[in-house]
């Protein structure tokens, strides 16, 4: 049995490598076809230890294989730009600016777009569209709620992700450029609901559930003046002194110190005369109980003092 030599030649440090590069580095065919090197896409190899079937490996492989006039698109582009979208693990979305055509290969979902629609045509090595274009491309494959979540994320300076963002005006401009593209109706429906100051997708979904239930829309990143400092609630009604806090997994995974911080923060708001409503992912899945609590809080706040 042949000993598998390590792939340590200069230029082969990348997680996924084009077969052409391996050959140029002197790697023999038998070594490229060894069992420790998986094939994310035909014509590429993943380094030993990397799951070649993972989204990351397949996306890197496609980025090596596509060329001028083509780009990573839709859900795949949004995922690579760290925009929160529904996961798509089966195919990599690739767009092509006419007259170019998307690659026809196993594992790729292709589509075409007219010249001039994108703010800029993506280039190597990542082949990714501008954030606002990535959002507009989602119109063809996402629900309106998903587009609002993605839009909130992109324009909110409070978001926790380190991915690139854009302005609301950029989203408006993108929706105009995509005016004759598939999904523009979803973009137009989502835009009026996009808000600044949102730190996580669940905060967007809580706000949308509240509005859908017939309540007045709460303020995002709501200022709560307390004794000695100003806090920011995820959502709130300053006119009624009601703060809404979404406790995601982060609040439960960081132990007693995080719980102490959250409790003291909540007590500060209450001491300042605010009603604090807290909810979790379970409330988001079945919001009826939370909505009843919200209705009671608003009713109490409206009563004469």
For the stretch 8-26, pLDDT in tens is 655 567 889 898 988 888 8
Token duo for residue 42: 């035909």
Domain match, 142 and 160 both:
yes
Domain match, 2 and 23 both:
yes
Domain match, 240 and 294 both:
yes
Domain match, 97 and 168 both:
yes
Domain match, 30 and 109 both:
no
What is the span of the domain harbouring residue 126? 67-193
Domain match, 266 and 226 both:
yes
Domain match, 89 and 44 both:
no
Domain match, 205 and 92 both:
no
Nearest to 103 by CA among 76, 125, 136, 70: 70
Domain match, 156 and 229 both:
no
Domain match, 117 and 45 both:
no
How many helices (H) and strands (E) in the chain?
13, 9
Of the three residues 158, 174, 193, the one that is the final residue of a domain is 193
Domain match, 180 and 273 both:
no
Nearest to 93 by CA among 77, 105, 81: 77
Number of domains in the chain: 3
pLDDT in tens, 51-93: 899 999 999 999 999 999 999 999 999 999 999 999 877 899 9
pLDDT at 1 over 50: no
Mean pLDDT of 99-120: 94
Q: What CATH number is associated with residue 240?
A: 3.40.960.10
Of the three residues 193, 226, 250, the one that is the final residue of a domain is 193
Token duo for residue 40: 């994310």
Of the three residues 193, 223, 254, the one that is the final residue of a domain is 193
According to DSSP, the β-strands at 275-279 and 242-246 are parallel
pTM to 2 decimal places: 0.91
pLDDT in tens, 154-194: 999 765 666 789 999 999 999 999 999 999 999 999 999 99
pLDDT for res 249: 54
Domain match, 22 and 96 both:
no
pLDDT in tens, 241-283: 999 999 875 555 555 667 787 788 999 999 999 999 999 999 9
């Amino acid at each position: 049995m042949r000993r598998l030599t390590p792939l340590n030649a200069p230029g082969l440090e990348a997680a996924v490598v084009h077969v052409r590069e391996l050959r140029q580095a002197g790697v023999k065919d038998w070594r490229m076809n060894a069992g420790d090197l998986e094939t994310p896409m035909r014509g590429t190899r993943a380094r030993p230890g990397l799951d070649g079937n993972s989204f990351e490996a397949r996306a890197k492989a496609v980025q090596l294989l596509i060329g001028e006039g083509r780009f990573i698109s839709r859900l795949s582009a949004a995922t690579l730009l760290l925009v929160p979208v529904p996961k798509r693990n089966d195919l990599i979305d690739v767009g092509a600016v006419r007259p170019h055509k998307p690659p026809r290969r196993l594992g790729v979902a292709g589509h075409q777009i007219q010249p001039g629609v994108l703010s800029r045509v993506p280039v190597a090595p990542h082949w990714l569209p501008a954030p606002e274009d990535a959002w507009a491309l989602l119109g063809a494959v996402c629900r309106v709620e998903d587009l609002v979540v993605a839009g909130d994320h992109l324009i909110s300076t409070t978001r926790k992700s380190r991915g690139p963002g854009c302005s609301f005006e950029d989203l408006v401009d993108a929706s105009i450029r995509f005016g004759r593209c598939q999904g523009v109706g979803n973009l137009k429906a989502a835009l009026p609901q996009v808000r600044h100051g949102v730190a996580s997708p669940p905060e967007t979904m809580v706000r949308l559930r509240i509005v859908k239930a017939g309540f007045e829309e709460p303020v995002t990143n709501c200022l709560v003046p307390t004794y000695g400092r100003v806090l920011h609630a995820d959502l709130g009604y300053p006119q009624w002194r009601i703060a809404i806090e979404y406790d995601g997994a982060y609040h439960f995974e960081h132990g007693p110190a995080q719980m102490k911080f959250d409790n003291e923060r909540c007590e500060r708001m209450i001491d300042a005369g605010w009603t604090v409503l807290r909810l979790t992912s379970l409330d988001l899945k079945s919001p009826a109980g939370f909505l009843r609590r919200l209705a009671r809080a608003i009713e109490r706040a409206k009563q004469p003092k």
